[in-house]
Amino acid sequence: MRMAPACLAAVLLVAVDASTALRAASAPALQGQLLLRPLTPSDIKDYALTGNQGASGLSAVGVGQPAYLEVLINAAIAPSNITSVTWTLTSKPVGSAVVLATSPLGSNVPTFKMADRVNNSGAPVYQVAGPSGRIMLRPDVAGQYQVSVAVETANGSTNLTQNITAGTYIGAYTCSLCHSGNPNIPAEYPSWAETPHASFLTRAIDGKVSDHYSKNCISCHTVGYDVNTNAINGGFDDVMKQLGWSFPTVLTNGNWAAMPDQLKALANIQCENCHGPGSEHVAALGNTNLVNWPRIGKTWSAGTCAQCHDSKNTHIKNAEWNNSKHAVTTRTPSGANRHACVRCHTASGFARYTEFVNSGTAYNTNNVNTTYEAITCQACHDPHADEHPSQLRLGQTITLGDGTVVTNAGTGSLCMNCHQSRNGSVSNSIVKYPLLQQTWAGGSSFGVHDNNAADMLEGANAWTYGKDIPSSAHRSSVSNTCAGCHMQTVGTSDPAFLQAGGHTFSMTYTLVTNGVTNTFDKVDVCVKCHGPITSFDMIKVDYNGDGIIEGVQTEVQSLLNKLTTLLPNSTYRLDGNYVADGLVKTGISTKTNWQSFFLKAGYNWQFVNNDLSKGIHNAAFAVGLLKASIADLTGDANNDNLADAWQIQYFGSTTSSNAAPNATPAGDGIPNWLKYNLGLDPTKPGITVPNGVVWASGGKIGGSTNTIQIYKAAEIAFNTEVGKTYQIQSISSIMGTWQNLGSPIVGTGGAMSYVTPTQPLANRPLVQQYYRVVTNP
C-alpha cells in the first residue's frame, strides 16, 4: 500500500475538515427540545385516541397517570437526516418497576403548541424527531423520575433530559398552610378562594350553575379525577369510591352540605388541577437540594387550561385560541437581551408587567423571564385572583404612551396595554429621534410600534398640527371596546365558528369553495349599528375627494397612498436638491435627517397604516390625520389637488365654484388643475391652437414686457375593457425599473386618458419620463 507523504496527508486532512465545516455552517441548526405533551379531550376525539388518558403537560403527574414525552427538532431538517433517537429512563424511585412504553400518539398527532407547529407567517418551526421521537412514562409509585433522549442527525446531535415528579393528591387545605401569608412564600390561597374556580362544584351540585349539570361534568371540577384502573393516587374518584358517594339525582340546595368532608377537600377546581399532585412537594419542604425541587408543576403553556377548556363543541376557548395570532406570536422579541420586549411578546413577560402596573410602580426589566412562550391563557387571566372581571390580570383603566388616561374601555383595556404605540408620546419620534436620543425603553426608533389600535381607537398620540381632529363613536359606543367586537360570540352552525370572534380575536374567516379560498369579514357585531353591511369596506363618504364614494378602507388606503407620494424615498438628501418622486410606496423608511414636516407626516402615515384596520377603528381620526398631513406638505387642506393658497390668491376662497379643479373660469376650456400644474394664471384665457394653447401672461400676445408660453400636456390615452385592470407605469431611464403610478384602474369599456404637465415648475424641476400601460389579465 502506497502511503502519501506526511505533508500531503496533512493537506488532505485540512481539506476534509474545511468541507465538513462548510456543510455544518450551511446546515440548519438542530434546536432540539424535550417536552411533556398535553393531551386534551379534543385531541382524544380528533386523533382517534379513545381509551387513552388525558395529560396536562405538567412535570408533576399523579401516580398511574401518563406523561407523554416528545423530542422536537428544527422543521428545516429533512426527516431522512434523522439517524437515531435513543430514550433512557435514567432514574426512578426505589420500588418502581416501570419501563418506558410506546407512545399512543401517532404521526398524525401534531405537537401541542401552535407556535411549535408554525410561526406567525405560517412557516413550519418544529417537527417530532421521526417515528421514535415519542415515548410514554406511566409512573407506578410516588417519587422522582428522569427521562433522557439522545438525537443523532446528519446536522448534529443533542442530549436532553426531563425530570418528572409522580405524587398523590392532598387537597387545597394542605396548600393553604404555607400559601396564606408565610414570609417569602407566595400567598396565593386567600385570593384563589374567592375565584369561581374555587366554588364551582359547590354551586353546581346545588343547582346554581345550570339545570343540566351531571356526573359526566365533575372530572373537570374535582381534583385528580381519573377512573383508569392504574390511576390510584388519592384523587376525587378514588375517595368517592372508598366512601360510596354517588352524584345526587336532583340538583338542589343542600347537596354540597351533605357531601363528606373527605370529598369536599378534593372538590372544586383547586391548586392541584393546575400544578399537579402535591404530595412530593409537601414532603420535600425545606430541602431545596433535592432533585427536581420544588417537585410541583408550573407552566405558561395553554395545555393545563386546555384539559377542561378544550372539548368541542361546547368548551371551545382553547380551540379558538389555537386559531389566533396570540398562539403563534413571533419569537424574535424574546430571549437574551429582550427584557424590554417580552412584556408584550411572551406570557410570563406580560404577567410580570402586570405586577408592576397593579403595584403602581414603573416597569422594571430586572428579574424578567425572557424565555419564549406564546400569549397563552395565563398571560391575560390570573388563575389565583378574581379582582377583575373574567379573572383578568389588570383593571379597566389604562394610560397610553402620551399620558392619555382611558377609563371607559371596559375589559378591552387589557388589550390596550400592548396594542398601543409603546414608543411613548408622538413627540419622542418627532423631537428625540432626529437627535438620536432614547425614544423607548429599548433604545431609539421612529414611529408607532405595531399595533397601535388603542391609540387609534381613542384618537390619541398622533401629530394633529394643532387641529381638533374628531373621532368616531366606537370608543364610547362599543361596550368593552376591543373585546366587544373582536370577541363576539359565533354560533356552532356559523361558517366562522372557531375562526372568528371569541378567543380567536379575529374579525375575518375563510371558506374554501371549489378549491378556492376566500376571506370574509365577520360583520355580525357591526350590523347592529351600521345596518345590513357585508364588509368592513362599507360605503360612507368620499374621503379622498376623487368624486367617487368608495368603501371606507378603500378611501383610507387611497389617502395613505397619496401621502407616500409626498414622502422621501431612499435618495433623500437634506441639501436642497431633493425632488419627491411622486410614486406610491408600500412602506416608508424614515431617516434622522428628515426635516420636521416630513417626520410629522411620516409618523401619521405609520400611525394609520400600522393600526391595520384601514379606518375601521376610527375612520374620522384616520382620515383627519391623513388629510392634515397631506395639507401640511402640499398646502391642500380640502384635498382637491390644488394648493389652498393658489385658490385663495385667484378666487378669494377654496370653496368658490370658480376655484374647483375642473372649472374653466377664463373660458378657454383649460381646467384649473392643468393651469395650476403648469404655473399659469387661471383667470387669463389662452388662445387655442392645433395641438396646444398659447397663453400670454399679460392678457395679450406681443410686447416686450409680456411672457409668451406655449405648452402642451403629455397624454397617455388608452381603451379599456370591462373585467380588466390597467396599471400606468413610468420610468426615467429605459435601463431603470418601472414604477406604478397610483393604483390599478378598473376597465369600463371606454377610453381612459392620463395627462401630465411637461413644463417645469419652480418647486418641481422637469424630469424626463417614459410611460406605459400594463393590462391585467
pLDDT tens for 571-610 read: 787 766 666 788 899 999 888 888 899 999 999 999 999 9
Residues of the chain above pLDDT 90, percent: 70
Closest by alpha carbon to 206, among 223, 225, 221, 224? 221
Q: Are residues 733 and 687 in the same domain?
A: no
Q: Report which of residues 776 and 484 the model is more confident about.
A: 484
Q: Are residues 462 and 596 in the same domain?
A: yes
Residue 497 has pLDDT above 70, yes or no: yes
Q: Are residues 212 and 255 in the same domain?
A: yes
Which residues have a Cβ under 8 Å from the Cβ of 324 and sit 6 or more positions away?
A: 503, 504, 505, 506
* pLDDT at residue 598 in the model: 93
22 burial type by CB count under 10 A (0-12 exposed, 13-18 middle, 19+ buried): exposed
Using CA atoms, how far residue 172 sits from 56, 179, 217, in Å, is 18, 10, 20
Q: Are residues 34 and 107 in the same domain?
A: yes
Report if residue 747 sits inside a domain. Answer: yes
* pLDDT at residue 596 in the model: 92
What single letter denotes the amino acid at residue 691? N
Q: Are residues 485 and 630 in the same domain?
A: yes
237 burial type by CB count under 10 A (0-12 exposed, 13-18 middle, 19+ buried): buried
Residue 752 bridge partners (DSSP)? 718
pLDDT tens for 395-424 read: 999 999 999 999 999 999 999 999 999 888
Among 141, 167, 193, residue at a domain's last position: 167
Q: Are residues 628 and 479 in the same domain?
A: yes
Among the ranges given (25-29, 250-254, 613-617, 749-753), the one the predictor scored with the smallest mean pLDDT: 25-29
Closest by alpha carbon to 557, among 482, 635, 615, 474? 615
Q: Report which of residues 759 and 163 the model is more confident about.
A: 163
Kindly report the number of other CB atoms within 10 A of residue 210's CB atom: 11
Report if residue 17 sits inside a domain. Answer: no
| Over residues 26-33, mean pLDDT | 88
CA 223 to CA 234: how far, in whole Å? 9
Beta strands in 286-371 (DSSP E): none
Residue 19 has pLDDT above 60, yes or no: no
Q: Is the peptide bond before 367 cis (omega within 30 degrees of 0)?
A: no
Q: Are residues 130 and 40 in the same domain?
A: yes
Among the ranges given (9-13, 385-389, 535-539, 550-554), the one the predictor scored with the smallest mean pLDDT: 9-13
What single letter denotes the amino acid at residue 636? D
* pLDDT at residue 188 in the model: 95
- Name the most confidently modeled range: 557-561, 630-634, 690-694: 557-561
Residue 700 has pLDDT above 50, yes or no: no
Domain carrying residue 744: 714-776
pLDDT tier at 79, thresholds 50, 70, 90: very high
* pLDDT at residue 210 in the model: 92
Give the dihedral sign, CA 450/454/459/465: negative
Among 618, 639, 660, residue at a domain's last position: 639
| Over residues 477-483, mean pLDDT | 95
Residue 689 has pLDDT above 90, yes or no: no
Would you say 154 and 24 are in contact if contact means Cβ atoms under 8 Å apart?
no
- String of DSSP letters for 259-298: S-HHHHTTBSS-HHHHH---HHHHHTTT-TTSTTTT-S--
| Over residues 383-389, mean pLDDT | 96
Q: Are residues 465 and 547 in the same domain?
A: yes
pLDDT tens for 225-242 read: 999 999 999 999 999 999
Report if residue 12 sits inside a domain. Answer: no
Task: Look up residue 539 and give its DSSP letter.
Answer: B
Would you say 482 and 415 are in contact if contact means Cβ atoms under 8 Å apart?
yes
Report if residue 363 sits inside a domain. Answer: no
Residue 373 φ then ψ, to 5°: -155, 135
Task: Look up residue 695 and give its DSSP letter.
Answer: E
Report if residue 308 sits inside a domain. Answer: no
Q: Are residues 473 and 618 in the same domain?
A: yes
Residue 60 bridge partners (DSSP)? 165
Average pLDDT, the chain: 89
pLDDT tier at 692, thresholds 50, 70, 90: low
| Over residues 298-318, mean pLDDT | 96
Task: Look up residue 197 and give its DSSP letter.
Answer: G
Using CA atoms, how far residue 443 sits from 356, 390, 430, 432, 599, in Å, is 21, 35, 15, 11, 18
Report if residue 310 sits inside a domain. Answer: no
Residue 767 has pLDDT above 70, yes or no: no
pLDDT tens for 514-530 read: 999 999 999 999 999 99
CA 135 to CA 148: how far, in whole Å? 11
CA 728 to CA 740: how far, in whole Å? 6
Residue 688 φ then ψ, to 5°: -75, 130
* pLDDT at residue 694 in the model: 62
- String of DSSP letters for 713-775: -EEEEEE--TT-EEEEEEESSTTS--EE-SSPEEP-SSEEEEEE--S-BTTB-----EEEEEE
Spell out a b/e string for 757-766, using b for 16 or more CB atoms within 10 Å of the CB, else e.
beeeeeeeee
* pLDDT at residue 320 in the model: 98
Joined together, the cell numbers standing for residue 694 give: 398659447
| Over residues 310-327, mean pLDDT | 96
Residue 687 has pLDDT above 90, yes or no: no
SS3 for 644? helix
- Give the rounded distance of the alpha carbon of 573 from its chain centre: 35
Task: Look up residue 331 and give its DSSP letter.
Answer: S
Report if residue 707 sits inside a domain. Answer: yes
Report if residue 730 sits inside a domain. Answer: yes
Q: Which contiguous run of DSSP H or E holds residue 474? A: helix 474-477
Spell out a b/e string for 66-87, using b for 16 or more CB atoms within 10 Å of the CB, else e.
bbbbbbbbbbebeeeebeebeb
CA 619 to CA 114: how far, in whole Å? 34
CA 521 to CA 535: how far, in whole Å? 6
Kindly report the number of other CB atoms within 10 A of residue 731's CB atom: 15
Q: Are residues 476 and 617 in the same domain?
A: yes
- String of DSSP letters for 396-444: S-EE-TTS-EE-S-GGGHHHHTTSS--S--HHIIIIIGGGT---BTTB-
pLDDT tens for 322-373 read: 999 999 999 999 999 899 899 999 999 999 999 999 999 988 888 899 999 9
Joined together, the cell numbers standing for residue 575 give: 441639501
Residue 757 has pLDDT above 70, yes or no: no
| Over residues 208-232, mean pLDDT | 95
Q: Are residues 589 and 657 in the same domain?
A: no
Q: Report which of residues 764 and 122 the model is more confident about.
A: 122
The structural domain count of the chain equals 5
Residues of the chain above pLDDT 70, percent: 91
Using CA atoms, how far residue 436 sits from 268, 440, 575, 664, 770, in Å, is 56, 12, 20, 50, 40
Would you say 321 and 377 are in contact if contact means Cβ atoms under 8 Å apart?
yes
pTM greater than 0.75 (yes/no) = yes
Closest by alpha carbon to 375, among 689, 76, 113, 57? 113
Joined together, the cell numbers standing for residue 729 give: 407605469
- String of DSSP letters for 34-74: EEEE-B-HHHHHHTT-TTPPPB---SEEETT--EEEEEEEE
Closest by alpha carbon to 457, among 412, 423, 426? 412
| Over residues 700-721, mean pLDDT | 59
* pLDDT at residue 218 in the model: 96
Q: Are residues 460 and 573 in the same domain?
A: yes
Among 258, 276, 294, residue at a domain's last position: 276
CA 314 to CA 497: how far, in whole Å? 12
pLDDT tens for 421-453 read: 988 899 989 999 888 888 877 778 888 988 999
